[in-house]
Every structure is written in structure tokens, then in C-alpha cells.
């Protein structure tokens, strides 16, 4: 098994006043040649947007873009005709394909919204842009992994890539053996809060560890914890 460790305090950081963002991989003004991607996972931004503020209309193409709210509500609008609010326990995905223009704003006028924005390179380029959003029951991830993004499972939202996202909420001492979905994929484990132990090493809130050249990885909750597993092709 091969492994890469990304501690939370090694992430890129940008504070624009209305936006505070931590970058797990090179993004915007943050560039680290050793942190360009994990396989086909290109961006994992940990964003906090001030009340009433947000990202104006801007374009994307040929990227799978996933948003996962952690606190508050995120308002989305795009040129496909979608105008929605993404809330805690929702997961949203856009296949940008041939091109899409969208905006994201904090839906609240008084509280910050915190969310993960994640980009994955697509499997097929220049597809027709598409949008999906789904609410997932948090009880279905208690001491087990809840599949929320998948190219083939109906309970998850579809992605144009052989990638799988799972959320877990584990009590201290509980362990899960995560089986990587496809040969050639790796798993990037991002700690949302609490602590997890992977391969004998403990990872704290917002730390991450990526593993590959293995078919499974054991994840133990070192204390009560929430975490995200992103299972992506490495090439």
C-alpha cells in the first residue's frame, strides 16, 4: 500500500474577507507542485462564505463539481435553469461538460455557510451539462459508510467518472474496512471532525490521508468522528 499524508496546516489558505478558503491541492494563487491532485481528484476546497456573499456567475467545462455543505445553506443558480438551496445533508453535483455558468451564494443574511467544493476530472469529455442534488439521511451513516456519489448505484447521485464518495459518522473505537471500488483506484480520506486512525497513524480534523496500490484500507475512529472517503482512479 502506498500512502500520502496531507495535514490540515499544510493546506493552502486564502482570506478575502467575505471568503476564507483552505486548499488541499494547488488552486488559484496557491501552488505546490507536490500537491496538484490525488489521482483524478483535482480540487478539495474547504470554504467559509460570509452572510449574504458569494461567487458571482462564472463558467466551468469538462469537470465534475461536487458541493457538500457542512454548516448553513448554499444558494445555487445556473444557466441550465436550476435555482436551488443546498442544505446540510445534501450533496450536489454538476457535470460541467461542454460548458456551464453558475453562481453560488450564502443563502443566509446573518450566518456563514461552510462547504466543501470538490472537482474530479471527468471520464467522458464534452457531455451535455447536467445537475443533480439529493438529501441523504444522516442516520444511514452512523457507524457505517453511506455512499453518496457513484457512477452506478441508484441510491447515490451520478458522476461522470469511476469515482465514489462515502460519508461516515463513527463512534470512538468503531472500525470500518473500506474496500476500494475498482482496480486502479485509490481512497482519499478527509477528516471532517474528530480523529481517525489509518495504517497506525492518527489524523485530526481536516487532515487527510490518501492510499493506493491496495484493495482495502482499515479506518478506525480514534474518537467520535465524521469523515469523507473519495475513491477515484489514480490515472
Residue 89 exposed, middle or buried by CB count within 10 Å (0-12, 13-18, 19+) = middle
Residues 76 and 143 both lie in one domain: no
Question: pLDDT tens digits, residue range 113-156?
Answer: 999 999 999 999 999 999 999 999 999 999 999 999 999 999 99
219 in a domain, yes or no? yes
Question: pLDDT tens digits, residue range 6-24?
Answer: 999 999 999 999 999 999 9
CATH number, position 177: 2.60.120.10
Question: pLDDT tens digits, residue range 29-65?
Answer: 999 999 999 999 999 999 999 999 999 999 999 999 9
Question: What is the pLDDT at residue 224?
Answer: 98
3 in a domain, yes or no? no
Structurally, the chain folds into a number of domains equal to 2
Residues 200 and 92 both lie in one domain: no
Tell me what the mean pLDDT of segment 197-225 comes to: 98
Residues 124 and 173 both lie in one domain: no
Residues 186 and 129 both lie in one domain: no
**What is the distance between the alpha carbons of residues 185 and 164, in angstroms, rounded to a whole number?**
10
Query: Last residue of some domain: 100, 135, 170?
Result: 135
pTM to 2 decimals?
Answer: 0.97
* Structural domain containing residue 119: 9-135
**What is the distance between the alpha carbons of residues 28 and 35, in angstroms, rounded to a whole number?**
13
Question: What is the pLDDT at residue 53?
Answer: 96
Residues 54 and 109 both lie in one domain: yes
Amino acid at each position: 500500500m502506498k500512502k500520502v499524508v496531507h495535514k490540515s496546516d499544510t493546506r493552502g489558505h486564502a482570506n478575502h474577507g467575505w471568503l476564507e478558503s483552505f486548499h488541499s491541492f494547488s488552486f488559484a494563487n496557491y501552488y505546490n507542485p507536490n500537491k496538484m491532485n490525488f489521482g483524478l481528484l483535482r480540487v478539495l476546497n474547504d470554504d467559509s462564505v460570509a452572510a449574504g456573499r458569494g461567487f458571482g456567475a462564472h463558467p466551468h467545462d469538462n469537470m465534475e463539481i461536487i458541493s457538500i455543505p457542512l454548516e448553513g445553506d448554499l444558494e445555487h443558480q445556473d444557466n441550465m435553469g436550476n435555482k436551488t438551496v443546498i442544505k446540510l445533508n445534501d450533496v450536489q453535483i454538476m457535470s460541467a461538460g461542454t460548458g456551464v455558468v453558475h453562481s453560488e451564494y450564502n443563502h443566509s443574511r446573518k450566518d456563514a455557510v461552510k462547504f466543501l467544493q470538490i472537482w474530479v476530472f471527468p471520464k467522458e469529455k464534452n457531455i451535455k451539462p447536467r445537475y443533480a442534488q439529493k438529501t441523504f439521511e444522516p442516520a444511514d451513516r452512523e457507524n457505517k459508510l453511506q455512499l453518496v456519489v457513484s457512477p452506478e448505484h441508484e441510491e447515490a447521485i451520478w458522476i461522470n467518472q469511476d469515482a465514489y464518495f462515502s460519508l461516515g459518522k463513527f463512534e470512538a473505537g468503531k472500525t470500518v474496512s473500506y474496500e476500494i471500488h475498482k482496480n486502479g483506484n485509490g481512497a482519499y480520506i478527509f477528516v471532517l471532525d474528530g480523529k481517525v486512525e489509518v495504517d497506525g497513524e492518527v489524523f485530526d480534523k481536516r487532515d487527510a490521508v490518501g492510499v493506493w496500490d491496495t484493495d482495502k484500507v482499515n479506518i478506525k475512529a480514534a474518537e467520535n468522528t465524521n469523515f469523507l472517503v473519495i475513491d477515484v482512479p489514480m490515472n
